[in-house]
Amino acid sequence: MNRSQLKRSSILRMALSGSEAADPDERGESFVLRAVKIAAVVALYWFVSITMVFLNNFLLDNRELDAPLFITFYQCLVTVGLCWLMQLVARLCPGVVDFPAVRFDLKTSREVLPLSVVFIGMITFNNLCLKFVGVAFYTVGRSLSTVFNVLLSFVILKQTTSLHAIICCGIILGGFWLGVDQEGLAGSLSWTGVFFGVLASAFVSLNAIYTKKVMPAVDGSIWKLSFYNNINACVLFLPLILLFGEVGRVASFSRLTDPSFWGMMTLGGVFGFAIGYVTGLQIKFTSPLTHNVSGTAKACAQTVIAVVYNQSTKSLLWWTSNMMVLGGSSAYTWVKSREMQKTTHKGPQDSAKEKLLPAEKENPGV
Q: What is the pLDDT of residues 258-292, one digit of tens each?
A: 999 999 999 999 998 998 888 878 888 877 777 77
First CA to last CA across the chain, in angstroms? 32
Helix then strand then coil, % of the chain, to nearest 5: 75, 0, 25
Query: Any idea which of 41-55, 84-98, 200-214 has the lowest mean pLDDT?
Result: 84-98
Q: What percent of the chain has pLDDT over 90?
A: 41
- Position 82 pLDDT exceeds 70: yes
| Tally of residues, the chain | 366
Tell me the C-alpha distance between 75 and 177, whole Å.
Answer: 32
**Cβ distance 273 to 82 under 8 Å?**
yes
Query: Any idea which of 16-25, 41-50, 96-105 has the lowest mean pLDDT?
Result: 16-25
Confidence of residue 47 (pLDDT cuts 50, 70, 90): very high
* Backbone φ and ψ of 44, nearest 5°: -65, -45
pLDDT digits (tens, 9 = 90+) for 140-174: 888 888 899 888 888 887 888 889 989 999 999 99
- The more confident residue out of 154 and 323 is 323
Tell me the C-alpha distance between 327 and 115, whole Å.
Answer: 30
Three-state DSSP string of 107-158 = HHHHHHHHHHHHHHHHHHHHHHHHHHHCCCCHHHHCCCHHHHHHHHHHHCCC
What contacts 294, CB < 8 A, 6 or more positions away? Answer: 42, 45, 46, 282, 286
**Cβ distance 243 to 50 under 8 Å?**
no
Domain ranges of the chain: 38-342
Mutual angle of helices 145-155 and 316-342, in 10-degree steps: 40
Global pTM value: 0.79
Confidence of residue 28 (pLDDT cuts 50, 70, 90): low
Tell me the C-alpha distance between 145 and 312, whole Å.
Answer: 27
- Position 15 pLDDT exceeds 70: no
Tell me the C-alpha distance between 191 and 199, whole Å.
Answer: 12
Tell me the one-letter amino acid at 360: E
What contacts 37, CB < 8 A, 6 or more positions away? Answer: 26, 29, 285
